[in-house]
Amino acid sequence: MAHALGAGASVSPSVGTDASLRKTGFKDHNKLRFDNKLWITLSSVNLKSRYSSTKYQFKVMSMSVQQAVRSKIPVQPLELENANEPPLNLYKPKEPYTATIVSVERLVGPKAPGETCHIVIDHGGNVPYWEGQSYGIIPPGENPKKPGSPHNVRLYSIASTRYGDSFDGKTASLCVRRAIYYDPETGKEDPSKNGTCSNFLCNSKPGDKIQLTGPSGKIMLLPEGDPNATHIMIATGTGVAPFRGYLRRMFMEAVTTYKFGGLAWLFLGVANTDSLLYDAEFSSYLKDYPDNFRYDKALSREQKNKNGGKMYVQDKIEEYSDEIFKLLDGGAHIYFCGLKGMMPGIQDTLKRVAEQRGESWDAKLSQLKKNKQWHVEVY
C-alpha cells in the first residue's frame, strides 16, 4: 500500500464502512481514509459493541500502514475452535430457536436487477455453526398448502464465520436476494407469488424475532487439515455466502488454530458492477494478501466472453482452465455455490476442457469426488 501515516501514528485494522461503524458503536471522529478503506485511531474507538458485553482487547502500538493492514481482528470465545465435529441440527422445525434481527442492509447498488440484503441475526451463542453450514428459517404465518401448519423451512447458507460479524460468537449473517414474481403477461409484480421467506427477511427490522433451525450441512465445510491448501470458489449471486465466511476466517480474523498460508481463488458471477456482493471486503484481501488471494468477476451484462457473448462464470473458468486443472491435479479443493442452473454450463465447460487436454472428465470428476476435493451446494 503506497500511503503512509505520520511517524508514530496508531491505527487499528480496517473495520468497514461508516454505516457499519455507526451500527456497532464506533465513533465517527478521528477517521483516516485511504482507497475507500476506513481507518480509525485507536483512541477514538469504542470497543464495546452494543450487541455484546464483550470488550475486545487491541494492543496500541506504533506501526506502519502495511503492518496495520495485515493485523487481524481478535475473536472470541476461543472454545468455538474446540469441537471435533460440526454442530448439526441443534434446533429442529418443531422446536426452532427464537433469534433476533440485528440489522438488514441492502448490499447492491441502484443499477442491480433485484435486491440483495445482508442480514445479521443474534442467536446469543446458542446456535453455533461452522463456516459453510446453513440455517433454516421458518417464516411467520401458515402454510397455504397445509392450512393450520407453519411454513416449510427455507435453507440459507451462512455468510459469516462462526464468530459472526461482531467477532463474539453470538451472531450469524445471511445473504438474501428478495424473490419477486412478475406476471409474464402484464409485466407487473404479483405480490401473492413473491418469495415468502426472502421478502420476510429483507423486510425485517432490528429487534424482530425469527424462527431458526439447524445448523445443517457438511458438504461445504472448509477443510482445515492443511492450512496451505488451495481453495477454488465458484459462486453466482448469493452463492457467495459461504465463501465470505471462508475468506473472513482466512484473512480477517486472528484464529490461532487456523493460520491460512495457501491460495484462495474466488470466481463471482453477477449481472453488473452494482450487483457485486461484498466487493470492498474481497478487494481489500486482494491488496493485503496478493500472494494468497485471487478474485475474478464475471459480469454478464458488462463483459463479453471470447466469442462475443455474455460473460458467465464458466467463461472465466475456461479462461483459466489450464491453471485450474493443474491446481486440481495438485490436490486443490473446488467449491460451487449458487442457483442450480449454474452447474450444467460449468460441467460442459470442464468436460470440453478435459477432452482438449486428452483427459476423461467423468474419470477426473470421479477421482475429485473420491478425494473429497469436489464440493457443490446449489438451490
Does residue 49 carry a pLDDT above 60? no
CA distance 77 to 71: 19
Cell digits of residue 306: 471470447
| 377 belongs to the catalytic site | yes
Mean pLDDT, residues 137-157 taken together: 93
Are 215 and 130 in contact by the 8 Å Cβ rule? The answer is yes
Residues 250-270: tens digit of each pLDDT = 999 999 899 999 999 999 999
Q: Which of 12, 157, 166, 198 is labelled catalytic? A: 157
Shortest CA distance to 268 belongs to which of 108, 69, 104?
A: 108
CA distance 112 to 343: 23
pLDDT digits (tens, 9 = 90+) for 256-314: 899 999 999 999 999 999 999 999 999 999 999 999 999 999 999 999 999 999 999 99
Contacts of residue 249, Cβ cutoff 8 Å, sequence gap at least 6: 131, 161, 222, 255, 258, 260
- The listed CATH number (3.40.50.300, 3.40.50.720, 3.40.190.10, 2.40.30.10) that belongs to domain 71-216: 2.40.30.10
CA 198, CA 175: separation in Å to the nearest integer?
Answer: 10
CATH of region 222-378, choose from 3.40.50.620, 3.20.20.330, 3.40.50.80, 3.90.1150.10:
3.40.50.80
| Residue 355 falls in the annotated catalytic set | no
The answer on pLDDT for 328 being more than 90 is yes
SS3 content of the chain, % helix, strand, coil (to 5): 25, 25, 50
Q: How many Cα atoms sit within 13 Å of 226 on the Cβ side?
A: 11
CB-based contacts of 304, cutoff 8 Å, min separation 6: 310, 311
Told to judge if 182 belongs to the known catalytic residues of this protein, a careful annotator would answer no
Mean pLDDT of the 165-187 span: 88
Known binding-site positions: 157, 177, 238, 300-301, 310, 338-339, 377
Radius of gyration of the chain (CA): 21
Enumerate the known binding-site residues for NADP(+).
157, 177, 238, 300-301, 310, 338-339, 377
Q: What is the rounded CA–CA span in Å between residue 40 and residue 59?
A: 14
Helix, strand, or coil here: 350?
helix
The one catalytic residue in 91, 129, 156, 335 is 156
Task: Report the percentage of the chain scoring pLDDT > 90.
Answer: 74
Cβ atoms of 18 and 32 closer than 8 Å: no
pLDDT tier for residue 186 given thresholds of 50, 70 and 90 = confident
CA–CA separation, 374 and 369 (whole Å): 5
CA 2 to chain centre: 28
N-term to C-term CA, the chain: 39
Question: How confident is the model over 18-32, as pLDDT tens digits?
Answer: 333 333 333 333 333
> What are the cell numbers at 223?
477443510
Closest CA to 377 of 347, 325, 340: 340
Give the chain's mean pLDDT: 84
Sorted by sequence, the CB contacts under 8 Å of residue 20 that are 6+ apart come out as 105
Residue spans per domain, the chain: 71-216, 222-378
Out of 12, 52, 289, 377, the active site residue is: 377
Catalytic residue (choose from 181, 182, 258, 379): 379
Q: Can you say whether residue 278 is alpha, beta or left, with left for phi > 0 and alpha for psi between -120 and 50 degrees?
A: left
Categorize the per-residue pLDDT at 192 as very low, low, confident or very high, splitting at 50, 70 and 90: low
Note if 91 is an active site residue: no
Is 222-378 in the same CATH topology as 71-216? Answer: no
Q: Is the dihedral of CA 173, 177, 178, 179 positive or negative?
A: negative
Q: Which pLDDT value is given to residue 57? A: 39
| CB proximity list for 191: less than 8 A, separation 6 or greater | none
Q: Which among 241, 252, 243 has a CA at the least distance from the CA of 163?
A: 252
Residue 320 known to be catalytic: no
pLDDT at 37: 39
Evaluate if residue 146 carries a pLDDT over 70. Answer: yes
| 6 vs 68, higher pLDDT | 68
Residue 324: pLDDT band by 50, 70, 90 thresholds? Answer: very high
Report the C-alpha gap between 103 and 207 in whole angstroms. Answer: 8
Q: What are phi and psi of 356, to 5 degrees?
A: -65, -30
